[in-house]
Amino acid sequence: KRITFSGIQPTGVPHLGNYLGAITNWVSLQNNKSSELVLYSIVDLHALTIQKDAKMLQKSKIEMTIILMACGIDPKKCLIFEQSKVSAHSELSWILNCITPIGWLSRMTQWKTKFQEQKNIRSIEDIDISIGLDLGLFAYPVLQAADILLYKSTHVPVGDDQVQHLELTRDIAEKFNKFYKKNVFPLPQTILVPAKRILSLKDPSKKMSKSSPFEYSRINLTDSPEEISQKIKRATTDSQKGILYSPDTRPGISNLITIYSSFTGLTIEQVVNKYKNSDSKTFKDSVTEIVVQYLQPIQKEIERLKKEEGYVKSVLEDGANKANEIAKRNLEEVYKVIGLRN
Ligand code: AQP
């Protein structure tokens, strides 16, 4: 039985990283005939670790659903729902908290990067958790494990930044199964796409991120052609001649090559061959052209769906009802296994 689960936080407008690293994969997986169940969640409980503005959260949720649907997520093929509408996520998370050693969580790198950004800390080595690390930000990988395991998911499409959390999920599942001597949870597989990680346009040592305070570091799926052009023009590259793919020595230009290759379907080699003698300005103009062209139909569909808010809300409601049915059943099994509610 193949069950696919993934989530995205309503912390702002999705960017090219979310799109190329996760959403494109979501679209192709919903069409996979061998998948019995496909669930995509707007993980609003996770968003609370970063975004605490109630109005913004409310707005982002609908916006995110509209954008996902405009990108090709089809409610006839999968369930789209808000995480907080299925309370079993929080309940299972608590149960898993009780078997997750703090040491496992301290090894995770995502909360460190996010905390570092929140507090403007220069280097990860300088992190001091006593200066206001919220428990939620530290423990969110356990909630993520609960999201996945709640549906007994077998396949999880995510970007490269989440690979470590998927390993943790498998460790937690294995520990639970062993401790309670019952194979309740399958060990879920990570599904990555070739464009695993899209980097920040401003600082290519970091990933492109919704919550970065620097608007110029990312291209949002709703950006106008002018905004896209300005952002790509200002993207950090180096002063070396020619276009060459070398993520370690030329991360900025290599990131643009990855973006160009992903949107055209050309391989990295084909892109490099095409532009090897060009200067970075010419190449940046071509990247802009491709991105603008690619996003145009998606943006048109976003505009159309914005006028159908009632329908979008009904999609979320239907998704939550169906997700709740499955979640309640599986959670009941977990409660029985651990000796509660018997
Ligand atoms: N830069 C990226 N390249 C490739 N994949 C990415 N993902 C995120 N950034 C990149 C993938 O997008 C999915 C949804 O991400 P998320 O909303 O759950 O949160 P995130 O991973 O923390 O992404 P952001 O954009 O950085 O959000 P904020 O800033 O709100 O935390 C995931 O599958 C992720 O791997």
For residue 287, what is the domain's CATH number? 1.10.240.10
Quick one: 58 and 153 in the same domain?
A: yes
Q: Is the CB of 18 under 6 A from ligand 1?
A: yes
Atom of ligand 1 nearest to the CA of 200: 1
Quick one: 327 and 267 in the same domain?
A: no
Q: 157: domain range? A: 2-191+309-338
pLDDT digits (tens, 9 = 90+) for 23-51: 999 999 999 888 899 999 999 999 999 88
Q: Is the pTM of this model over 0.90?
A: yes
How far away, in angstroms, is 261 Cα from ligand 1 center? 20
| Structure confidence at residue 50 (pLDDT) | 87
| Structure confidence at residue 152 (pLDDT) | 98
Asked whether residue 258 is assigned to any structural domain, the reply reads: yes
**Interface ipTM > 0.90:** yes
Quick one: 31 and 132 in the same domain?
A: yes
How far away, in angstroms, is 119 Cα from ligand 1 center? 19
Count of structural domains within the chain = 2
Quick one: 300 and 329 in the same domain?
A: no
Quick one: 169 and 87 in the same domain?
A: yes
**Atom 35, ligand 1: residue with shortest CA distance:** 159
Q: Is the CB of 198 under 6 A from ligand 1?
A: yes
Is 206 catalytic? The answer is no
Quick one: 185 and 36 in the same domain?
A: yes
Quick one: 92 and 159 in the same domain?
A: yes
**Atom 33, ligand 1: residue with shortest CA distance:** 158
Cβ neighbours for 233, distance < 8 A, ≥ 6 positions apart: 284, 288
Q: Is the CB of 159 under 6 A from ligand 1?
A: yes
Quick one: 156 and 66 in the same domain?
A: yes
Asked whether residue 206 is assigned to any structural domain, the reply reads: no
What string of H, E and C letters represents the secondary structure of the chain?
A: CEEEEEEECCCCCCEHHHHHHHHHHHHHHHCCCCEEEEEEEECHHHHCCCCCCHHHHHHHHHHHHHHHHHCCCCCCCCEEEEHHHCCHHHHHHHHHHCCCCHHHHHCCCHHHHHHHHHCCCCCHHHCCHHHCCCHHHHHHHHHHHHHHHHCCCCEEECCHHHHHHHHHHHHHHHHHHHHCCCCCCCCCEEECCCCCCCECCCCCCCECCCCCCCHHHCCECCCCHHHHHHHHHHCCCCCCCCCCCCCCCCHHHHHHHHHHHHHHCCCHHHHHHHHCCCCHHHHHHHHHHHHHHHHHHHHHHHHHHHCCHHHHHHHHHHHHHHHHHHHHHHHHHHHHHHCCCC
For residue 120, what is the domain's CATH number? 3.40.50.620
Q: Is the CB of 327 under 6 A from ligand 1?
A: no
Atom of ligand 1 nearest to the CA of 11: 30
Q: Is the CB of 8 under 6 A from ligand 1?
A: yes
Atom of ligand 1 nearest to the CA of 157: 33
Quick one: 290 and 313 in the same domain?
A: no
102-123: b (≥16 Cβ within 10 Å) or e: eeebeebebbbbbbbebeeeee
Q: Is the CB of 141 under 6 A from ligand 1?
A: no
Is 152 catalytic? The answer is no
| Structure confidence at residue 129 (pLDDT) | 76
Q: Is the CB of 207 under 6 A from ligand 1?
A: yes
Is 306 catalytic? The answer is no
Quick one: 76 and 156 in the same domain?
A: yes
pLDDT digits (tens, 9 = 90+) for 246-283: 999 999 999 999 999 999 999 999 999 999 999 999 99
Residues of the chain with pLDDT under 50: none
Asked whether residue 209 is assigned to any structural domain, the reply reads: no
Mutate to test the pocket of ligand 1, among 4, 5, 16, 18 (most ligand atoms within 8 A of CB): 18
Quick one: 80 and 186 in the same domain?
A: yes
